[in-house]
């Protein structure tokens, strides 16, 4: 598995320094929404731009204001990732496999642990469902091009269902 076509989607997508990935990538920096047609539209645009894809990074929105209700925090941060993961994951199956990475900075506010826990549960569930069909699913925070290249490489193909916290150390 050596991805040639990358999709980076959601709030924060344009902040990743892609380096050599830039030549074969499609970046949509608009925040994901909880409208099912939003995910469909983005997949269609990615296919139009790249002819298909084999690596996807979905960026989770922030959880919203610190005093937001649990329902509002889930609606903003988790529901869009669930919908986009399902749609982009289905397309990766059509392509014969690939990597799906959810990029998420730790949430803040009253419901931070709950919404971040929901993302981790989604990743574990997605890995269990898609792994046997050659799609890896991971959660990364923060996201770097090097980490993305590794997770989508043949060497990283055995890592799935994990939350990877990539802290810079020098």
List, for residues 67-90, the tens digit of each pLDDT value.
Answer: 889 999 999 999 999 999 999 999
Rounded to the nearest 5 degrees, what angle is found at the Cα of 90, between the Cα atoms of 85 and 95?
Answer: 120
Cβ neighbourhood burial of 52 (10 Å; 0-12, 13-18, 19+): middle
Percent of the chain with pLDDT over 90: 67
Q: Residue 109: left if φ>0, alpha if ψ -120 to 50, beta else—which one?
A: left
Residue bearing the bigger pLDDT, 51 or 1: 51
The whole-model pTM stands at 0.92
- pLDDT beyond 80 at 3: no
User: Could you tell me the fold of the domain covering 6-165?
Assistant: Rossmann fold (3.40.50)
d(CA 44, CA 41): 5
Mean pLDDT rounded to a whole number for the chain: 90
The whole-angstrom separation of Cα 83 and Cα 166 is: 25
Tell me: the pLDDT tens digits for 121-170? 999 999 999 999 999 999 998 888 889 889 988 899 999 999 998 876 54
Predicted pLDDT of residue 161:
97
């Amino acid at each position: 598995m050596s991805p040639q076509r990358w999709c980076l989607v959601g709030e924060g997508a344009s902040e990743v320094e892609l380096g050599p990935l830039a030549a074969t990538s499609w970046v949509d920096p608009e925040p994901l929404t909880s409208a099912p047609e939003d995910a469909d539209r983005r997949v269609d645009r990615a296919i139009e731009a790249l002819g298909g894809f084999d690596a996807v990074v979905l960026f989770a929105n922030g959880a919203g204001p610190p005093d937001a209700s649990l329902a509002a925090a889930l609606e903003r941060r988790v529901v869009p990732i669930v919908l986009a993961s399902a749609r982009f994951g289905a397309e990766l199956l059509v392509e014969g496999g690939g990597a799906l990475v959810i990029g998420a900075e730790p949430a803040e506010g009253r419901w931070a642990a709950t919404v971040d826990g929901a993302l981790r549960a989604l990743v574990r569930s997605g890995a269990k469902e898609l792994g046997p069909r050659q799609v890896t699913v991971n959660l990364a925070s923060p996201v770097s091009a090097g980490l993305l290249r590794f997770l989508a490489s043949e060497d990283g193909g055995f890592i799935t269902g994990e939350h990877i916290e990539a802290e810079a150390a020098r």
